[in-house]
A and B are shown apart, each in its own frame.
Chain A
């Protein structure tokens, strides 16, 4: 059986429709490419987070770009989008509502990271629950109580409830999260920061030498924690602020040096 393609058929379709169809397909292909590129960027940026969280965020962003691309493409062929937009908006609100708790927890984790009032190993009390912190993940903080039970406290709770750190030296311990771009030489950064910490040793508890631990490493960034102990509770704010300022200064110096 032979199939003949009669190209003359296009002469019966108006040129503006052919033009619109081409634009439609170009937008769809462009959307597809954008989804792939954004997904790769997100994958790198989120490589330090939990795989499940990273996958969820990437999926939501992908769907959002597809919807946006499809709407733009459909508008090119002259479809009325008002009802479609309404449906998408309602679906979006529904999605946000359904992920509300996850987002709250992520935000809670973000704020607790900025200044952590407790660490792994500390004994804390939140509401009616008390136990040793054995894990802090993006969604929840896990406590182990005296009975050996594991208690999962959603991170958002820490923004609403009062938490009490029962560890005797908790007020002394300071943990400062540090994020560096991976092009900065970490050993050099640590060297300069340690030298600074030794310079302010009269404010630090001599029973604990500052330690910098690398939390995670991705091709683009390094997440680390600076842990030290202070000896004067009244100067905690001052010390934390000064150390944070110094960290920024060191990062700037190393960036300039690299250039």
Chain B
């Protein structure tokens, strides 16, 4: 029997108000989606879940085991041939783990200074971060003893040292989901990072640039570029009634130009710069800015309980009030798929202003609706953008540049249409079919 072990920090399933015992095994068939649980919206889960389903359906594996952190959930959950193992760690350790994870995340997104990261990896809280990784590694090894996996597939930066802890000779694959810039790594941390990275037989990154950086750091294993992917079938123009509901809910007028930004509320996404740009844009065009998104698993109250999203939300609101744009800036929070499709469908322009973005699949989503896009040069996906052909690239700190390019596209319908059409063609590189083909090719090369 062939089995794959997958490890992500975020769980694929989030239980809603789960009050049952944690140390039990449950079958997800006995629970209702939307009432008892929801499928996590995080990018990593959205990629891994269809990948596992596809690997099982295509007979590469008979079963998949998925180890992740999950609070307020049963310890073992079966979803057909995918078996979820939830790790629970004591509250004080979880708090310290989350703190270090956030600090690392900020560092890799250039939101933290080099000196600060050295301070952080030598502080007591880092021992709790290591503790979480060790608990995960021990659980994986325990499962491996019983189930004899064929491959371990570990995801995301906060789980990097699990490979070294596993010590197994079986193939270990790692997917690095966030930006990876070698030049920003402090010399004090390079040896350890190199040890952790080299404990994997293969590493997958999202862009060619990250791959180059990985090699520069001294990674000796096999490395691959695989663009993140989404299922285009989900992104369809909504029915007229849904579109009307969306416009009515957010008070969108017929002739109003809509600028859309879909991103979780986070410092790295840099949403406030768009509020400043809107002030300039509105000197030429009657435009409204719509932010879609909420906190992530780590930054929402339902997840690890950090209030990062609230801080960003308040910053946007305060800035809009200050600039007299209260009625022209809307924060929708989380939208279900139908309403999200309505947002893309109604948008005249999509902007992603992130200071640093691992990839930026939301740009692909906008392309699937043939919308023109303006993307930060710091987003991984910018390597797919040909300036003026399928989008515009901007400096995320320069709101005047953003405003200038936005006005160009909002006032030139033919150009906007052409960029949207070209973007749609580019989006095909990041469809689930393409992504799965590439990932399956990589995984099977280790079997």
Contact = CB atoms under 8 A, between A and B. Distances in A.
22 contacts: A186-B134, A186-B138, A187-B131, A187-B138, A188-B131, A191-B131, A192-B127, A194-B126, A195-B124, A195-B127, A198-B124, A198-B126, A201-B122, A206-B122, A207-B187, A207-B190, A209-B121, A209-B122, A209-B189, A211-B192, A211-B195, A213-B167
Interface string B233-262: 000000000000000000000000000000
Contacts of B128: 191
B157 to A, nearest CB: 16
B100 to A, nearest CB: 12
Given A186-B134, A201-B122, A213 B191 contact: no
A214 B127 contact: no
B188 interface: yes
Given A188-B131, A207-B188, 17 more contacts: A187-B131, A190-B130, A190-B131, A190-B134, A191-B127, A191-B131, A194-B130, A195-B127, A198-B124, A199-B124, A206-B122, A207-B190, A208-B191, A208-B192, A209-B121, A211-B164, A213-B167
A201 B190 CA distance: 17
Contacts, number: 50
Contacts of A213: 164, 167
A199 B122 CA distance: 9
B192 A194 contact: no
Interface of A (DSSP majority class)? helix
Nearest to A207: B188
A214 to B, nearest CB: 6
Contacts of A208: 191-192
Given A194-B127, A198-B126, A198-B127, A187 B121 contact: no
Given A207-B187, A207-B191, A214-B167, A198 B122 contact: yes
Interface of B: 93, 118, 121-124, 126-128, 130-131, 134-135, 138, 164-165, 167, 187-192, 195
A143 B138 CA distance: 32
A188 B122 CA distance: 18
A207 B118 CA distance: 9
Interface in A119-170: none
Interface residues of A, number: 18
Given A186-B138, A187-B131, A214 B123 contact: no
A214 B167 CA distance: 8
B192 A209 contact: yes
Interface string A188-224: 1011101100110100001111010110000000000
Contacts of B130: 190-191, 194
Contacts of B187: 207
B92 to A, nearest CB: 11
A194 B123 CA distance: 10
A43 B134 CA distance: 28
Contacts of A207: 187-188, 190-191
For B93, B123, B124, the residue with the greatest tally of chain A CB atoms inside 10 Å of its CB is B124
Nearest to A199: B124
B438 to A, nearest CB: 33
For B121, B122, B164, B192, the residue with the greatest tally of chain A CB atoms inside 10 Å of its CB is B122
A213 B133 CA distance: 13
Interface string A22-49: 0000000000000000000000000000
Contacts of B121: 209
Contacts of A191: 93, 127-128, 130-131, 134
Contacts of A214: 165, 167
Contacts of B122: 198, 201, 206, 209
A192 B93 CA distance: 12
Contacts of A209: 121-122, 189, 192
Contacts of B164: 211, 213
A155 B119 CA distance: 41
Given A195-B124, A206-B122, A209-B121, A187 B192 contact: no
Nearest to A216: B167
A201 B134 CA distance: 22
A209 B187 CA distance: 12
Nearest to A192: B127
A223 to B, nearest CB: 12
A227 to B, nearest CB: 9
A227 B362 CA distance: 43
B333 to A, nearest CB: 37
Nearest to A187: B134
A257 B118 CA distance: 33
B142 to A, nearest CB: 11
Contacts of B188: 206-207
A199 B124 CA distance: 8
A186 B167 CA distance: 15
A19 to B, nearest CB: 52
A190 B188 CA distance: 22
A243 to B, nearest CB: 15
A40 B123 CA distance: 45
A103 to B, nearest CB: 30
A195 B130 CA distance: 10
A208 B121 CA distance: 10
Contacts of B134: 186-187, 190-191
Interface string A79-119: 00000000000000000000000000000000000000000
A38 to B, nearest CB: 27
Nearest to A169: B191
A246 to B, nearest CB: 13
Contacts of B195: 211
